[in-house]
Structure 1
């Protein structure tokens, strides 16, 4: 680890790894709301054909980069693979910046809402430092926004302009629904689809054609996730 990234790495890898993993999954799902991204992801066939394998590979790549750094011996092959995968027509620097923003912002949001404590200022600063480091390693221009709040503001504006319904986005959501609910142990299985929908906000539900679950389901999900985090957490290891 390096000094500018280690607080974020400790949060993701040691303090609240399950929350971070769910947040990363939701960050990936969030990209389905952008038709251009959904079209590219759907065309590969990997998400609809083997969503578990794709999600595992994505999670392993991100955890390696967060823990070791993009310029480490372990990180450089991951960066090279990411550059190769995304070097195709239709993937612009703006879309890549949005994907990276989702992978940075969404885990922190999940920790804040469902973890045993919110992310600290040093953790947020370290997350943004990692965001910039990875963008540079991927050969992207300077990220939009000068800090994490600026990135979130840019991300919100991008979503207002680019979120929209698509058959590909709906198919990707259907393919990953089981994967998401499998990461929510302890919640009633008959309510799995509604519980997963409770983790999506209004704009994303609209883009993916997902109905808003009843208030009781949303409340049950929030309470269950918070209790699980506190039971698993014990003493904070930061």
Structure 2
């Protein structure tokens, strides 16, 4: 089972612990292999939901630095025509796995949708492996830099084991068996494959425009510069994006550091935020009234059907 006990009023695994480090103490009582689903749900849903959402936005962005991945996305036209829906589909399907577990009814349904979408295309196994690594190591790196505390060894290992099991259920082959080996694969893959192409630039630009669209129009040029400030030199080069001014890079990091210091003094979260992202525009009120099977490229008419039924 995903949870040992569950309070009906909060949904918190085992109830809400006392003190700002209460969830961390709960995590340290668990085994990162046996209990990896419970640990990862606490980390992503209770301790760092904002950081996980932001870091996974950049993790997906990072995968578009790979020419074979960006070429496929450009060929399908999905990120050009419906970038918000493609973003929402990916974010919500992965959030379902975190919130409910990959072997739960909603988790199995989510994986079925993911596998159906991927099954339409001939995708190289190493590309799939690489995308899987970004779901593990990009949030870890982000939280180490900008989180209100660093992740514990249990949390790091639980994240690895969680996504390794997700990858197995997606039919991805040759997934390394250790945290360190998978990280080495990621670093070597990026060294070999990150390079500029026009498709990278196009898909990166669509995604950048999507990020900017979440803010009022007068702020969008500054938002774009803020995104450039958080991209590393390898990503900037692969997209053909300009580097942000040094002062803005420093200001962005200071702002995220200030946020972390503020969050450090908040009480422990009582409700999981894993499957609730306010940037979701495609499925109003999700998850209320929706199932994972309603998501995905095969269901672009879902909302229209719901409106007609109403």
TM-score, scaled relative to structure 2: 0.71
Determine whether 1:175 maps to 2:217: no
| Larger-Rg structure | 2
Question: Does structure 1 conserve the Cα–Cα contact (< 8 Å) formed by 2:59 and 2:134?
Answer: yes
CA distance in 1, matches of 2:221, 2:241: 17
Question: Does structure 2 conserve the Cα–Cα contact (< 8 Å) formed by 1:20 and 1:107?
Answer: yes
CA distance in 2, matches of 1:230, 1:50: 36
Greater displacement, 2-11 / 208-217:
2-11
Question: Does structure 2 conserve the Cα–Cα contact (< 8 Å) formed by 1:163 and 1:207?
Answer: yes
Secondary structure at 2:172's aligned position in 1?
coil
What does residue 142 of structure 1 align with? 174
CA distance in 2, matches of 1:54, 1:229: 29
Question: Does structure 1 conserve the Cα–Cα contact (< 8 Å) formed by 2:197 and 2:238?
Answer: yes
Deviations 1:113-132 (A, max 9, x none): 11111111111111011111
Determine whether 1:199 maps to 2:213: no
Secondary structure at 1:116's aligned position in 2?
coil
Give 1:226 shift. 2.1
Q: Check 1:115–1:184 CA distance in 2 against 1; reply closer, same or farther (3 A cut).
A: farther
Determine whether 1:11 maps to 2:43: yes
Question: Does structure 2 conserve the Cα–Cα contact (< 8 Å) formed by 1:198 and 1:218?
Answer: yes
CA distance in 2, matches of 1:226, 1:40: 36
Question: Does structure 1 conserve the Cα–Cα contact (< 8 Å) formed by 2:46 and 2:268?
Answer: no
Pairing partner for 2:57 from 8, 16, 25: 25
C-alpha RMSD of the superposition:
2.1
Secondary structure at 1:74's aligned position in 2?
helix
TM-score, scaled relative to structure 1: 0.91
Within 5 A, what are the aligned runs for 1:35-50? 35-50=67-82
Deviations 1:173-213 (A, max 9, x none): 1111133346789xx65422221011111111111001221
What does residue 62 of structure 1 align with? 94
Question: Does structure 2 conserve the Cα–Cα contact (< 8 Å) formed by 1:132 and 1:142?
Answer: no
Unaligned runs of 5+ residues in structure 1 are none
Within 5 A, what are the aligned runs for 1:219-238? 219-232=250-263, 234-237=266-269
Q: Check 1:57–1:199 CA distance in 2 against 1; reply closer, same or farther (3 A cut).
A: same
What does residue 129 of structure 2 align with? 97
Q: Check 1:138–1:68 CA distance in 2 against 1; reply closer, same or farther (3 A cut).
A: same
CA distance in 2, matches of 1:202, 1:138: 31
CA distance in 2, matches of 1:48, 1:219: 32
Question: Does structure 1 conserve the Cα–Cα contact (< 8 Å) formed by 2:83 and 2:210?
Answer: yes
Unaligned runs of 5+ residues in structure 2 are 4-34, 271-310
Secondary structure at 1:101's aligned position in 2?
helix
Give 1:155 shift. 0.4
Number of equivalences:
235
What does residue 13 of structure 2 align with? none
CA distance in 2, matches of 1:45, 1:189: 24
CA distance in 1, matches of 2:229, 2:194: 19
Question: Does structure 1 conserve the Cα–Cα contact (< 8 Å) formed by 2:62 and 2:235?
Answer: yes
Question: Does structure 1 conserve the Cα–Cα contact (< 8 Å) formed by 2:148 and 2:263?
Answer: no
